[in-house]
């Protein structure tokens, strides 16, 4: 297969679809520069497989020419023996860069940064900077911005390349800067950096130390990758399972089962309380079997309303729209929503019983009105309870430093199922005491 004129990303996709032996041979046949570009687009398991098939010389060449941020991501995911092997193949300069990046906390924005950028000092002329770019620009991650530093490498400003191109070549950089810039501290959490990128709509942002020293830049493509990983993790958690380390198609069967079994067991044990709740009301069910007909309707409505609320709140938290201090605002809003939604379903439930009774589809007995009211009022309170529970649980988890996404839809539904049955039979007892019960 020929890869002439193909984009590195397309080549990586084509190689991934090949059988193992053909894949490794195809990669080794690529030119040295193309190997480096294609390698960064491959999934981690394919990268590991190719690494194990390469000679030390070939792998060292790829590793030393990888972008530092891509190499950091690679080393993060490799098994320990490959990390040590990889580090030892780096030249002194690249080894120092790699060790510095790996030294930052795993959730810090510095783990995504690259030290490949163009910087200059304020006493340089536009011509000098442009000449510098011509020599070193090919190695830079991006040329959209030029970073201006002082004698201690502290960031004092950044300039768009367009500003340099349009300026007179004898103009000093100091005449173009206004000492106003946006940056991110190296210790900032990656998730917090998302909001900064979005707020300032930047394709790249400089990373500085607490003392203001410029240590690297982070580009928007790396931020997008991190956002995708975060959202994937949250979606998997919200589905009631542990997050996968690899994609679904690349996760081994037993690993997939292990990731899903834990939560399923917890939820199953929780649902067992539903049977216990029904057992508690066994006498009432025996006297009015008709009540059991509406159990699935009642508990599913409460679980669905809770899952809806949890989804809305968790997403709003992820987007930064809601903070812990907003919990009372959310409670007031969800209280009104729960009453209205429960009221709508309650009316529909009563009308359904009325139609079935009058049309002769099913005979709910002479006390069908009391049965209808039991179902209707129960729906109101259970949907209200589900809405309040689903919206409050994410706040409680955030308060205790846990990921709100852990308030998965199955978890909320299970909680509301058990409590919903208690609400349903308690309300039914109020309406039907002295009649059926």
Does 305 lie in the same domain as 212?
no
Nearest of 105, 214, 113 to residue 157 by alpha carbon: 214
Pick the range with the lowest mean pLDDT from 62-76, 136-150, 231-245: 231-245
Q: What is the mean pLDDT of the chain?
A: 81
Residue 263, pLDDT score: 63
Give residue 219's domain range.
119-226
- Could you tell me if residue 181 is inside a domain? yes
- Could you tell me if residue 169 is inside a domain? yes
Task: Say if residue 380's pLDDT is above 90.
Answer: yes
- Greater confidence, 337 or 88? 337
Does 199 lie in the same domain as 127?
yes
Q: What is the CA radius of gyration of the chain?
A: 30
Q: What is the per-residue pLDDT across 156-165, written as a single tens digit (0 to 9) for each?
A: 999 999 998 8
Report the DSSP beta bridge partners of residue 146: 159
Does 384 lie in the same domain as 341?
yes
- Could you tell me if residue 259 is inside a domain? yes
Does 98 lie in the same domain as 141?
no
The last residue of one of the domains, among 226, 242, 268, is 226
Question: What's the distance, CA 87 to chain centroid?
Answer: 30
Q: CA dihedral in degrees (314, 319, 320, 326; nearest 10)?
A: -40
Does 57 lie in the same domain as 151?
no
Does 399 lie in the same domain as 266?
yes
The last residue of one of the domains, among 48, 70, 103, is 103
- Could you tell me if residue 2 is inside a domain? no
Angle at 108 between CA 111 and CA 198, to 5 degrees: 95
Does 264 lie in the same domain as 206?
no
Domain of residue 65, CATH code: 1.25.60.10
pLDDT band with cut points at 50, 70 and 90 for residue 316: confident
Q: Distance (Å, rounded) from C-alpha 104 to C-alpha 95?
A: 15
- Greater confidence, 58 or 88? 58
> What is the three-class DSSP state of 213?
strand
Does 319 lie in the same domain as 196?
no
Domain of residue 420, CATH code: 1.10.357.20
Residue 408, pLDDT score: 60
CB environment 258-282: b (16+ within 10 A), e (fewer)? ebbeebeeebeebeebbeebbeebe
Domain of residue 216, CATH code: 3.10.580.10
Count the domains in the chain: 3
Sheet-wide strand order for 204-208: 184-185, 204-208, 214-219
Task: Say if residue 434's pLDDT is above 60.
Answer: no
- Could you tell me if residue 241 is inside a domain? no
Tell which phi-psi region holds residue 31, choosing left (phi > 0), alpha (psi between -120 and 50) or beta: beta
Does 302 lie in the same domain as 168?
no
- Could you tell me if residue 136 is inside a domain? yes
- The model's pTM is 0.56
Does 407 lie in the same domain as 261?
yes
Q: What is the per-residue pLDDT across 80-89, written as a single tens digit (0 to 9) for each?
A: 667 768 877 8
Does 370 lie in the same domain as 304?
yes
Q: What is the per-residue pLDDT across 273-311, written as a single tens digit (0 to 9) for each?
A: 666 666 666 666 665 677 778 888 888 888 888 888 888
The last residue of one of the domains, among 69, 103, 137, is 103
Q: Distance (Å, rounded) from C-alpha 210 to C-alpha 197?
A: 19
- Could you tell me if residue 437 is inside a domain? no
Distance set, CA 416 to CA 362, 412, 426 (Å): 28, 6, 15
Does 261 lie in the same domain as 208?
no
- Could you tell me if residue 238 is inside a domain? no
């Amino acid at each position: 297969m020929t890869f002439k004129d193909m984009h590195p990303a397309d080549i990586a996709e084509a190689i991934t679809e090949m059988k193992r032996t053909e894949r490794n041979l195809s990669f080794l046949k690529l030119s040295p520069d193309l190997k480096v570009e294609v390698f960064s687009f491959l999934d981690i398991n394919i990268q590991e497989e190719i690494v194990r098939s390469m000679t030390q010389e070939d792998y060292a060449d790829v590793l030393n020419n990888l972008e530092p941020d891509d190499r950091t991501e690679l080393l993060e995911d490799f098994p320990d023996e490959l990390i040590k092997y990889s580090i030892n193949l780096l030249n002194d300069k690249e080894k120092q860069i790699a060790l510095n990046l790996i030294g930052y906390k795993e959730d810090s924005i510095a783990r995504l940064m690259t030290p490949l950028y163009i910087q200059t000092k304020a006493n340089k002329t536009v011509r000098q900077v442009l000449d510098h770019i011509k020599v070193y620009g090919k190695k830079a991650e991006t040329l959209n911005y030029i970073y201006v530093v002082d004698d201690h490498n502290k960031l004092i400003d950044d300039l768009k390349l367009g500003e340099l191109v349009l300026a007179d070549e004898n103009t000093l950089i100091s005449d173009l800067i206004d000492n106003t810039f946006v940056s991110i501290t190296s210790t900032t959490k990656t998730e917090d950096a998302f909001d900064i990128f979005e707020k300032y709509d930047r394709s790249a942002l400089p990373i500085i130390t607490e003392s203001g020293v410029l240590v690297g830049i982070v580009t928007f493509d790396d931020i997008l990758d991190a956002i995708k990983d975060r959202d994937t993790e949250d979606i998997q958690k919200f589905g009631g399972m542990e997050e996968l380390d690899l994609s679904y198609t690349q996760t081994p069967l037993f690993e997939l089962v292990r990731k899903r079994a834990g939560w399923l067991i917890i939820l199953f044990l929780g649902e067992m309380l539903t049977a216990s709740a029904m057992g508690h009301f066994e006498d009432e069910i025996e006297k009015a079997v008709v009540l059991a007909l509406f159990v699935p309707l009642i508990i599913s409505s409460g679980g669905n309303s809770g899952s809806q609320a949890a989804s809305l709140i968790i997403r709003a938290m992820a987007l930064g729209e809601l903070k812990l201090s907003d919990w009372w605002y959310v409670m007031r809003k969800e209280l009104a929503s729960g009453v209205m939604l429960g009221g709508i379903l309650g009316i529909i439930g009563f009308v359904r019983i009325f139609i079935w009774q009058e049309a002769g589809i099913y005979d709910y007995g002479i006390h069908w009105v009391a049965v209808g009211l039991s179902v209707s009022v129960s729906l109101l309170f259970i949907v209200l309870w589900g809405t309040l529970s689903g919206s409050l649980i994410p706040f409680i988890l955030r308060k205790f430093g846990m990921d709100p996404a852990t308030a998965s839809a199955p978890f909320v539904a299970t909680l509301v199922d058990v409590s919903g049955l208690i609400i349903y039979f308690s309300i039914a007892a109020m309406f039907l005491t002295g009649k059926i019960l």
